[in-house]
Every structure is written in structure tokens, then in C-alpha cells.
């Protein structure tokens, strides 16, 4: 990438890296995800002069098999409906995250580098979809 003076790096962390959980559990997971965000900012500064953008997405609660078994309403480990915490009142999907990655991997994001995009319905999936739709039209 340095030799060709262009490229895109996209890392994935979690919103768990932004604040501790209510019960204080999973500190190791949150610390690791926070480190990915910080590393992404360093890479963006280091590689920017070479035309390489570096961005990070931070999915919230995404409806994967593990999540559907452990934290959705009615499961043994669930104490509330996680969808109620999201602006769109639904869990995100893998496809929602993929669309944010797609945006960051295209030339539509050529001047975006360094930030973490929260891939939750309260910010980036909805806004990114609208932005991509507008830019494609």
C-alpha cells in the first residue's frame, strides 16, 4: 500500500470499547476493543501521508447466532430487550455492518480516516446508508 500510495484499512471493534457494561463484566473484552480503536487512530496518522485511509467500525448488538442465544429476550442470560436501547428499536444485522464497511472501502470515503464509526442504528448505519444513497444518485 505504501508503494502504491493508496489503500484502505478497516478494523472492527465494538461499542463495548467505549464504556463499561452496567454490571462491570467483560473488562478484558472492552479493553481489547478500546485498544483497536486507539491503534486505528495511530495507523491513520502514520499511513495518511501515503494516501492510505484507516477506519474502524464499532458494531453494537448485532443479531448473530451467539447473540441470539445469549442476550435476546427470553434467553437465560437476558435481563432486558437490547433492541429497546437502539434508536431504530431493532438489533443490527451483519448486513448492516457490511454496508458500513462497503462505504469505507469505496472511493466515497476517500477523505475519511481515523474515526471509529459506531455501526449501530443510532448513528452510522442509518446516516451512512443515506449518504451512500445520496452520493450514488
- Residue 29 vs residues 4, 24, 103, 106: alpha-carbon distances, Å: 35, 11, 27, 30
Cα 59 from Cα 114, distance rounded (Å): 16
Residue 108 belongs to a domain = yes
Give the structural domain span for 113.
7-131
The pLDDT, as a whole number, for residue 128 is: 46
Residue 23 belongs to a domain = yes
> Of 52, 60, 61, 63, nearest to 117 (Cα)?
60
The pLDDT, as a whole number, for residue 94 is: 87
The pLDDT, as a whole number, for residue 131 is: 46
Is residue 29 among the annotated active site residues? yes
Establish how many alpha carbons lie within 13 A of residue 73's alpha carbon, considering only the half-sphere containing its beta carbon: 8
The pLDDT, as a whole number, for residue 78 is: 53
Q: What is the pLDDT along the chain (137 residues), one digit of tens a residue?
A: 999 999 999 999 887 777 777 777 778 888 898 899 899 999 999 999 999 999 998 887 787 777 667 665 555 445 456 676 677 788 888 898 899 999 999 999 999 888 766 554 443 444 444 444 444 44
Cα 25 from Cα 33, distance rounded (Å): 14
The catalytic residue among 26, 29, 42, 111 is 29
Residue 137 belongs to a domain = no
**In CATH, what number is assigned to the domain containing residue 108?**
3.40.50.720
The pLDDT, as a whole number, for residue 25 is: 73
The pLDDT, as a whole number, for residue 74 is: 57
The distance between the two most distant Cα atoms of the chain, rounded to a whole number of Å, is 53
The beta-strand segments (E) located in the chain are 7-12, 52-59, 116-119
Three cell numbers at 94? 451483519
Q: What is the pTM of this model?
A: 0.73
Residue 2 belongs to a domain = no
Amino acid at each position: 500500500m505504501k508503494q502504491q500510495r493508496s489503500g484502505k484499512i478497516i478494523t472492527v471493534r465494538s461499542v463495548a470499547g467505549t464504556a463499561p457494561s452496567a454490571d462491570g463484566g467483560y473488562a478484558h473484552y472492552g479493553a481489547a476493543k478500546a485498544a483497536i480503536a486507539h491503534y486505528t487512530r495511530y495507523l491513520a496518522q502514520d499511513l495518511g501521508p501515503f494516501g492510505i485511509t484507516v477506519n474502524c467500525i464499532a458494531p453494537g448488538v448485532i443479531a448473530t447466532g451467539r447473540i441470539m442465544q445469549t442476550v435476546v429476550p427470553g434467553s437465560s442470560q437476558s435481563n432486558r430487550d437490547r433492541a429497546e436501547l437502539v434508536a431504530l428499536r431493532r438489533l443490527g444485522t451483519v448486513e448492516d455492518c457490511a454496508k458500513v464497511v462497503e462505504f469505507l472501502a469505496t472511493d466515497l470515503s476517500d477523505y475519511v480516516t481515523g474515526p471509529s464509526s459506531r455501526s449501530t442504528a443510532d448513528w452510522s448505519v442509518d446516516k451512512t446508508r443515506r449518504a451512500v444513497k445520496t452520493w450514488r444518485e
